[in-house]
Amino acid sequence: MTDIKTNWAFYTDWLKSMLPVYAGLLNPGASETELAELENYLGFSLPENVKALYRLNNGDASRDTPRIYVGAFLGFEFLSLARIRNVHSEWKQHAANNYSGSSFPEGSIRVQYTNEKWIPLFADSGGNYVGIDLDPDKNGIAGQVINFGRAEDNKFVIAQNLDDFLEFVGKQIKSGACDNAITEEDDGGSSYGLSPQSHLIDDLKGIFLPQN
């Protein structure tokens, strides 16, 4: 397993080479004060690998940039620490909602609509996220990477930790899949991810979930 700095540098080098406009959206790294402020709001510590990522880049500015419709992480917005706090605060209001859904592997993710210890890192424009789970079910691992959000009733483990997830993304880049997924859109921008004109979570489902 390689480390966060190596994996993230590989991804951002690819982004700069292939899609420099989106690489330019990445914010400078977060300060220790900013990280501490988020942890104080959450009431618990973030995993060291998450903090290491945010010391490199504090999310992206896609949400506030005119004529930009996708974010800097495989088409998803890379949430800044401020955006994590805002999203987390909004979702806390729904924590008690009745919910029926599923998780895979069974017993790895709590079958809930939302959870205060699910921390969103990457977001689409519709309220769906890839993030870390700090309150796993009995068979899960704290820090595992999962999907959750408005349209994500069926949750699944994407990777055991953030390091492994970014290493997986690097392997997809090396395979040529991400190069082949880049598509020029009618609005003058580009769509990109793991497959052409697709959605990151849908692509991850195709890779990590059993196919009927």
Determine what percent of the chain is predicted with pLDDT higher than 90. 83
pLDDT of residue 77: 98
In the block, residue with structure tokens 């029926």: 100
DSSP structure string for 53-99: HHHH---B-GGGSTT--SBTBTBBEE--HHHHHHHHHHHHTTTT---
* Arithmetic mean of pLDDT, 192-196: 96
**203 C-beta neighbours (distance < 10 Å), count:** 18
Q: What SS3 class is residue 52?
A: helix
DSSP structure string for 143-209: TEEEEEETT--EEEEEESSHHHHHHHHHHHHHHTHHHHH-EE-TTS-EE-SSSTT--HHHHHHHHHS
| Between residues 30 and 98, the one the model is more confident about | 30
Does domain 4-208 match CATH 3.40.1580.10?
Answer: yes
Give which of 170, 166, 172, 164 is closest to 194, Cα–Cα: 172
* Arithmetic mean of pLDDT, 158-177: 98
Quote the CA–CA distance of 206 and 128 in Å, as a whole number: 17
pLDDT of residue 101: 84
Phi, psi of 26 (to 5 degrees): -65, 130
Quote the CA–CA distance of 158 and 174 in Å, as a whole number: 19
**pLDDT, tens digit, 9 for 90 and up, residues 59-110:** 999 998 888 889 999 999 999 999 999 999 998 887 656 676 899 999 999 9
One-letter amino acid of 21: V
Residue-range domain boundaries for the chain: 4-208
One-letter amino acid of 199: H
In the block, residue with structure tokens 């945010």: 54
User: How many CA within 13 A on the CB side of residue 192?
Assistant: 27
Q: Is the pLDDT of residue 1 over 60?
A: no
Q: What is the mean pLDDT of the chain?
A: 94
